[in-house]
Amino acid sequence: MTGIDDRALERLRALPAVQALAGEPGVWVVGGAVRDALLGRAFVDADFVVEGDAVALARRLGEVTEAHERFGTASVGGFDLASARTESYPAPGALPDVVLGASVQGDLARRDFTVNAIAVRLADFTTVAWPGAFEDLADGVLRVLHPGSFADDPTRLLRLVRYASRLEFSVDDDTAELAGAAVAGGALRTVSASRLGAELRLLLREPQPAALQWLGAMGLGDVIAGAIVDGGRVARTVGLADGGRVDLAALACCVGAVDAAVLAARLDELEFPAAERDLVVSASRGVADVGALRTAPASVVWRTLRGVSLEALAVAGDPLVLERWASVSGAVLDIDGNDLVAAGLSGPPVGAGLEAAMVALLDGEAPDRDAQLRVALAEARA
């Protein structure tokens, strides 16, 4: 691969934003969209760099929904524009100092990996690329642009994991050595937990178990309180969690050995939403004595697993129990609370009666309405 081909150009031309910007000079599509167009991969959005004033261009195009003059970025018409810029890092892990007014070649120098450092000008589809970018893309290799890349922005370590798992690319030997040195040197400690958390949540949405296996192989388990990645277990959990939060189930199965309070505190530091934090912590505990539920009466399965999340069942890792739960959780009584209220009952006895009727239904002792009502009334009046 030595340049952009007609097939990739057609894929880029099909983007609505590209069509809207095609007549504007100095506008380039860069990064992931170009990479994926060349690879024949699906993509839905793109990054656009303007050699000039992106905010002014956005205002000329239509109603600007968001603008940041300092960083030269603006949103208009459902897409984002950014002025070409250079960046320098005052300290390891710090947010960069931005200087606007760069050429597109200067802008490419701030990219993370060579395969993301390719730009196509929309006016005439001229292409510029970082040296070796096309070769690395053809070879399926991830390579940083310069030796200080991970020190400047250690979140690139997590992005390396994301791209390696999503694209099924290998990591260049020098890049792997630089990454290992950055991890060993504590580079991630220079980054705020909120930034790490944002990258981690993106990583969890990548193909599993590959992404978490890469995370473990890179020595990045400490990002999530010392996670231990077992690829086989992650794959099994992901399969069983289909229909639920697969990303959170995958994480939960790697942190079961971490103290629940420690795990919750770390997820808070990483700014996981409270509901996601609680789901990961509870799911990571799995289900106690799950094996016993393989042969337990259906009513025991129902009573034990009420309120247990699909993600916790997936972490527990027993497909037969999951199948039994799917069967019993769909059971529906032929009576409801109104029937017991009509019989003169109210309050907690109504709930107790309905529960007793469900147990009897599941165990085959109350297959019809009359039998369920007798059981419910007997329990409620006991």
pLDDT of residue 23: 82
Nearest 5°: CA angle at 14, between 119 and 127?
Answer: 20
pLDDT of residue 304: 95
Q: Are residues 134 and 10 in the same domain?
A: yes
Average pLDDT over residues 286-293: 93
Q: Are residues 34 and 124 in the same domain?
A: yes
CB under 8 Å to 335, separation ≥6 — which residues?
Answer: 354, 357, 369, 372, 373, 376
In this model, does residue 94 exceed pLDDT 80?
no
Residue 154 lies in a domain: no
Residue 46 lies in a domain: yes
CB 296 within 8 A of CB 328: no
In this model, does residue 1 exceed pLDDT 70?
no
> Which has the closest alpha carbon to 25: 128, 126, 122, 105?
122
- 329-346 pLDDT tens trace: 999 999 999 999 999 999
* Cα-to-chain-centroid distance, residue 73: 25
CB 89 within 8 A of CB 150: no
Domain span at residue 346 reads: 337-380
Cα torsion angle, 164, 170, 175, 176, sign: positive
Q: Are residues 134 and 254 in the same domain?
A: no
If you average pLDDT over every residue of the chain, what do you get?
93
Between CA 145 and CA 132 the distance in angstroms is 10
**What are φ and ψ of residue 191, in 5° steps?**
-110, 140
Domain count across the chain = 3
In this model, does residue 2 exceed pLDDT 80?
no
DSSP-based three-state secondary structure for 90: coil
pTM: 0.87
Q: Are residues 263 and 372 in the same domain?
A: no
Band of the pLDDT at 305, cuts 50, 70, 90? very high
CB 158 within 8 A of CB 151: no
More confident residue, 275 or 20: 275
